[in-house]
Chain A
Amino acid sequence: MKRYLTRKLAIYILTFFLAVTIDWVIPRFMPGDPVQTMLSRANLRAEAVEVMRGYYLKAFGLDVPVWRQYLNFWVAVFHGDLGVSVYLFPKPVSRVIMEAVPYSLALLIPATVLSWIAGNKFGAFAARRKWLDNTLLPVGYLLNATPYMWLGILLAWAFGIALGWFPIAGAYGFDRTPSLSLGFILDFLWHWFLPFASLFLVQFGGWAIGMRNMVIYELEADYSQYLEALGTPRGLIRRYAFRNALLPQITGLALQLGVIVAGSVVTEIVFSYPGIGYLILQAIQNQDYFLIQGCFLFIIIGVLLANLVVDIVYIVVDPRTRRGMMGES
């Protein structure tokens, strides 16, 4: 278990190091010059341009040698200092992000966890049951192939506009301020439901199909055939198959994290939901580079932490990792 965890941790630390480096390198060594872009947008006279350039270079810490800039960047990251947002000037990027995070998590965590549980249960149940299996396959694959934003758009249009049951923008009504009153919570849930449902549904298809395929695979395995030959009740064999099939699904969850994050970003955009995804859209449209860099770093850290949680769950579920019977992942 120690070996397993240290290996994983080493990878996460390396990844974090790499991610911070990417975050630092890309703005500096990509074609195009953000400072130049900002100056040309300001439409200044020639002398003023030089003064402003000097000011920006200093403000962004670009007036020291490159290696120094890199070190400074690390120091700033550890101080949680991600610069100042241009679009929401003069709010610091870290504050802007922290205000958006609760909304993103409120969507992401329930949608991911619930769809994983429900999808696995349903997939295992449907496997090798003729009618259910025949409907699950096409529907599940189609759901899994649906772009997140499109399902979001469809739900918003059907339930938000055509039927008018749910609001399609924001996390709560314009006339409310966040508080812990019952009225606000109900209003919040009312706004939360559609984006949650669209995130849930796309993932549900994927998990159900994955589980269905794994269970069939396990039911074909020698141990299942042997149990069947012994006359073991089918329900029991299926239960063993389910438990074995669950392990790859946990690994699958870790592998899918990146895709899920991308999905939640576009879902938030469709529903103008004030989380990280919506923030990213604003940052891109306003060319707020510090905000983009901050969101990038934040997503990486979030995904790394989620990976760590999945690893720990894996250790709890699979005794082999605890007893050091698996050399590597």
Chain B
Amino acid sequence: MKNEFLYFALRNRKLRLGLSVVLFFLLLTFVGPLLTDYDPWGYIGAPAQPPSAEHWFGTTTFGQDVFSQFVHGLGPAFLVGALGGGLATLIGTAIGFVAGYRGGWIDEILNMLTNIVIVIPTFAVLLIIAAYLEVRSFFIEAVFIGCTAWPWTARAVRAQTLSLRAREFVDLARISGMRASKIVAFEVAPNMMSYLVMVFILQFGGAILNAATLDFIGLGPTTGISLGLMMNYAVLWGALQLGMWWWFVPPGLAIALIVGALYITNVGLDEVFNPKLREK
């Protein structure tokens, strides 16, 4: 069974492509800072220089090294993605399991809560919280994103749990006197594992995009560098008008490639887990 998935996983072009792009950027996150001696904030060279052997991605209007900012900004993106996406998956799954398995008034209340959080535009809430917090960190950003991004996951997991709950093997477990938490953990969850993995990947990508948006309007972490912040500075300090493409192209391209690769990985995984979708 496992080998069959592995066989199709290795043969799936989308999965291979998506994973290699993500791994490439992950590698760059760790290796990149070793390749440059420049401090991401240091004024180390002539301002507004195009890419050269000295400065691979050129310099900003202040003479900061763009490559150094770029590789130091990749880490926070992955961090917020993993943390925020992970938290959102966790909350969504937990609420989905409880609502779907318990049913009754607990389901009603959780469903109401989910529907409310779905309707409230996440971004607006993040905006008003971030605006009033004077000191912000990547950790806080990730937690906020995680706490607001879970509803669609909860809804999907609840629907899946509902259908699984009606299966015979779950009934059997219940008759044998298993505790509800154990049934969910050992009978229901394993049957949704592939789905949960895909949910996490989508949440991961969503968290990266959310963080970039917040950083871009200046509500990101108050210390440290990030890809969204780079674009913020590029726009504020006239990179557009001066035609300094090397300043704003790398950060956005990295985000688009990472998140796009995650989405494509997801499609690939879907095909691996779901034989009906495999290419004919």
Instruction: Using CB atoms and an 8 Å cutoff, list the residues of chain A in contact with chain B.
Output: 11-12, 14-15, 18-19, 22-23, 26-27, 30-32, 34, 137-138, 141-142, 144-151, 153-154, 156-157, 160-162, 168, 216, 220, 255, 257-259, 261-263, 265-266, 269-270, 280-281, 283-285, 289, 292-293, 295-296, 299-300, 303-304, 307, 328-329
Contacts and interface: CB of A to CB of B under 8 A. Distances in A.
Closest 8 CB pairs of A and B: A150-B252, A258-B121, A262-B123, A145-B259, A145-B260, A30-B132, A142-B260, A146-B256
Interface in B3-30: 14
Contacts of A149: 212-213, 216, 231, 235, 252
B25 to A, nearest CB: 13
A150 B231 contact: yes
A160 B243 CA distance: 10
A145 B217 contact: no
Interface in B129-179: 129, 131-134, 152
Contacts of A34: 132
Contact of A148 (B118, B128, B213, B245): B213
A289 B243 CA distance: 34
Nearest to A213: B267
B157 to A, nearest CB: 15
Given A31-B134, A262-B210, A299-B124, 13 more contacts: A11-B112, A30-B132, A138-B260, A141-B267, A144-B263, A220-B277, A258-B123, A258-B124, A259-B122, A266-B213, A269-B216, A281-B217, A296-B127
B205 interface: yes
Chain A facing B: main interface SS: helix
Contacts of B249: 154
Contacts of A295: 124, 127
A289 to B, nearest CB: 7
- Which size class do B's interface residues fall under? 35 or more
17 contacts: A14-B116, A26-B129, A32-B133, A146-B252, A147-B216, A147-B255, A149-B212, A149-B216, A220-B276, A258-B121, A258-B123, A261-B124, A262-B123, A263-B213, A266-B216, A284-B217, A303-B121
Interface of B: 14, 111-112, 115-116, 118-125, 127-129, 131-134, 152, 205, 209-210, 212-213, 216-219, 228, 231, 234-235, 240-241, 243, 245, 248-249, 251-253, 255-260, 262-264, 267, 276-277
A263 B241 CA distance: 22
Contacts of B218: 281, 284-285
Contacts of B234: 153
Given A153-B248, A168-B240, A285-B218, A32 B134 contact: yes
Nearest to A262: B123
A288 to B, nearest CB: 10
B125 A22 contact: yes
Contacts of A300: 120-121, 124
Contacts of A261: 121, 123-124
A284 B219 contact: yes
Given A147-B255, A255-B118, A269-B235, A293 B216 contact: no
A116 B255 CA distance: 24
A289 B131 contact: yes
